[in-house]
Amino acid sequence: MDRKDFYKRLWVDESLAEVTGYNPYYLPVNSGLNERLLVKGCKMIDLASNNYLGLATDSRVKQAAIEAVQKYGVSLCGTPIATGYIDLFQRLEEELSSFVGLERTVILPSCYQANNGLFSCLAGSEDLIVVDKLVHSSLIQGIKTAGCKIRPFLHNNLNHLEGILQRSSSYRQVFVVTESVFSTEGSVAPFKEIVQLCEKYGAMPIIDDSHGIGVLGKSGQGILEEQKIEGYQGIYTASLGKALANSGGMISGEKRVIEYLKYYCSHLVYSTALSPAVLAGVSAVLDIIRVEFAGIKHRLNSYQRQIHKSLSEGGFEVAASAAPINSIQTGSKEVTFSLAQKLYAKGILSTPFIEPSVPLNQGRVRLIAGAGLSQGTVNEAIAIIKRIGAS
């Protein structure tokens, strides 16, 4: 046993950043999500963050957070099961339940924790989890902790999913897991049909609506509203740190499920509760969505279409998307980093995805033009994209 060997195993391959002269990860950001980001002292157009509705720096949201800090302080320094379950926490759970149309909700420090903690509570060695092969890492990591059988199905492929369900009647319980919006490419799950298959075969559907809540649906209520899924009896998770412009995660569903998780989900029971400022901030965002969503969604969709058109005209291969995401198909990790570097050099911050976030040689560069941007800033981004495409 030698500690030198241990440290040798912790090697990080930085050759790609050295070759391209650009490392897009852990860039120092010196501002909030304003009209322009300040990155390493340079003003950048933000096409990277998940601030879909542009509400992360809204004055009303900031004021709600300030007032919560003044009343409760910056932290409850305890878990929800102990000292962290303030009235603000309980009210937000009720608001979120009402917003997505489900019976009960519990709030966790992140959706990663929600997805990680869910499966070990509800599934065991006698069960089967059938999962879309492209779901988020947080779901995969959570599923692996359950100790049950796991079978992936081809992305959004209902025939493949049904074939697996037909052959899975011997398990105690079958769970079918997917996302609403697959964020690296913008594809949307045919979740209504997945729910129908679950009802047909007695399976339990689980949906991660992190990139759908606050974005999809006539009122921004997410995938269940978008696809007119009524009386949903499955399990629902979502991030509060994307369109809802704060941080944290949620799990919603029937009362029996949520009450069980409140006592047996270790990721909740043993984690310090979200800060009062965050709880109040989410509540303020929900208030804004209820009143202003139509106008915000119009800008969001308009910006997505404009960026998509400029990419197509610039000769880029853009994935088909039913969400406000433009994903450029770049292939190798070298080409992916190179394009992200070109955008960065011209003043646009983007999000490059390489393996293992996406399959090998299926790199993507994602652009999200949030509704908080001005039309002038979007026009500037379009001009940059066209210049890069023509070069």
Quick: pLDDT tens for 101-134: 999 999 999 999 999 999 999 999 999 999 999 9
Fold equal for 3-57+292-390 and 76-274: no
- Determine whether domain 3-57+292-390 maps to CATH 3.90.1150.10: yes
pLDDT at residue 1, as a whole number: 64
Q: What is the DSSP letter of 227?
A: T
Kindly give, in sequence order, each residue whose CB lies less than 8 Å from that of residue 131, ignoring residues fewer than 6 positions away. Answer: 139, 140, 143, 150, 151, 152, 153, 176, 177, 178
Contact call for residues 371 and 296 (beta carbons, < 8 A):
yes
Q: Write down the domain spans for the chain.
A: 3-57+292-390, 76-274
Number of helices (H) and strands (E) in the chain: give both, helices first: 14, 15
- Determine whether domain 76-274 maps to CATH 3.30.70.270: no
Sort strands 37-39 and 42-46 into parallel, antiparallel or unpaired.
antiparallel
pLDDT at residue 4, as a whole number: 87
pLDDT at residue 390, as a whole number: 79
pLDDT at residue 35, as a whole number: 85
What interhelical angle do 276-313 and 59-72 show, nearest 10?
Answer: 160
| CB crowding 254-277: b at 16 or more within 10 Å, else e | eeebbeebbeebebbeebebbbbb
End-to-end CA distance of the chain: 54
Dihedral angle sign, alpha carbons of residues 210, 213, 215, 216: positive
In 3D space, the residue among 159, 114, 150 whose CA is nearest the CA of residue 129 turns out to be 150
pTM reported for the whole predicted model: 0.95
How does DSSP assign 311-377, residue by residue? HHHTT--B---SSS-EEEEEESHHHHHHHHHHHHHTTEE-EEE-TTSS-TT-EEEEE---TTS-HHH
In 3D space, the residue among 152, 113, 107 whose CA is nearest the CA of residue 131 turns out to be 152
Q: Which residues of the chain fall below pLDDT 70?
A: 1
Radius of gyration, CA atoms only, the chain: 21
- Which two structure tokens, joined as six digits, stand for 250? 């949620």
Neighbours of 170 (CB within 10 A): 8
Q: What is the DSSP letter of 82?
A: I
Contact call for residues 203 and 211 (beta carbons, < 8 A):
no
